[in-house]
Amino acid sequence: MFTIVTDPITFNLRSSGSKDGVPILLLHGSHATSRWWEPLFAVLPDSIHAIAPDLRGCGRSTQSDTGYDIENQAEDISELAAALDLTDFDLVGHGSGGAIAVEFALRHPQKLHSLILVDSVPIEGAFTPLQGLQLLSQMREDRSLLRRALSSLMPTAPPPTMTDSEFETFFDLLVDDAAAMAPAAFTAVAEALNRWNRLEEAHRLTLPTLLLLGTEDTIVERDAATRTLLAIPGAANLEILRGLGHSPMIESPVVLAERIIEFITEDFESFEEAREVARQDSESAGNAE
């Protein structure tokens, strides 16, 4: 692990691979940390330089009472990418981290090579009712409730790469990490996703985009993921991960690694037509105004 100090916050990060490898930045979801990517790191080749930060309020990164809006967190990542001198990199977002990744891609498309959304929040955001927010708040004080909630995100764990004992130790650390989050972060991200919606702006996402969804994911609905696919011109396909839940980086890191490596090593010629159509549509809309 290492730290990077930026103007808004100090980031704690985990990484794997050669520093001169293909750069890929991975953003975790709600109630998580960069530790969630460790099983994936263990199976990625050395030729990929994978970097995963603890997002604001999580892990050992700066804990704050505010700043959890998706737009603000996207700018956190922009500052981090600049500090790491990342250019033309692949950006992966899981769960709520997918919304941050989308927001970053809309604001800074020139910095990215591709966008990969893993069981991501839909392009129109996600609504958590008051009762749900109250439940999230209760998880701060109730470890058993927190443990059950996290377990539901990885229904097919442990992965083939871990023994039951190894996974139990790993999972306990995930629960510890979640329990140590900034108090505001327990509900603030969900509240932010209630307000975040990029359906109208999605036509500007013309860079190559991969959507992944587990068949056993009980958080993200297939119809919502399909709407995201149809809204993003750069997304050629919604790839279904059969037999996996919401967290493929933990449930089957080898499968996820294969999908990511296959995608980021494409030449993306098949995406050019979609990108050109999106560009023309954008210009037509501009002329109409």
Task: Report the domain count for the chain.
Answer: 1
Expressed as residue numbers, the domain containing 134 is 2-288
Higher pLDDT, 200 or 287: 200
Residue 241 to residue 259: CA distance in whole angstroms? 10
Residue 26, beta-bridge partner list: 92
User: Which amino acid appears at position 219 of this protein?
Assistant: I
Q: What does the pLDDT look like over 103-126, one tens digit per residue?
A: 999 999 999 999 999 999 999 999
* Type and span of the H or E element at 197: none
Q: Are 41 and 14 in contact (CB under 8 A)?
A: yes
Backbone angles phi, psi at 196, to 5 degrees: -90, 130
pLDDT surpasses 60 at 285: no
- As a whole number, mean pLDDT of residues 59-86 equals 97
What's the pLDDT tens digit per position in 196-220? 999 999 999 999 999 999 999 999 9
Q: How far apart are CA 180 and CA 35, in angstroms?
A: 13
Q: Are 36 and 153 in contact (CB under 8 A)?
A: no
How far is residue 275 from each of residues 10, 238, 269, measured CA to CA in Å? Answer: 36, 17, 10
Instruction: Determine the pLDDT at residue 266.
Output: 84
Average pLDDT of the segment spanning 19-26: 96
Q: What percent of the chain has pLDDT over 70?
A: 92
Closest CA relative to residue 70, chosen from 129, 125, 117? 125
Helix intervals (H) in 91-195: 96-107, 130-138, 143-152, 164-179, 185-195
Q: With a threshold of 0.85, does the pTM exceed it? A: yes
Q: What is the CATH number of the domain that holds 244?
A: 3.40.50.1820
Distance CA 144, CA 175 (A): 9
pLDDT value at position 277? 54
In tens, the pLDDT along 160-191 reads: 999 999 999 999 999 999 999 999 999 999 99
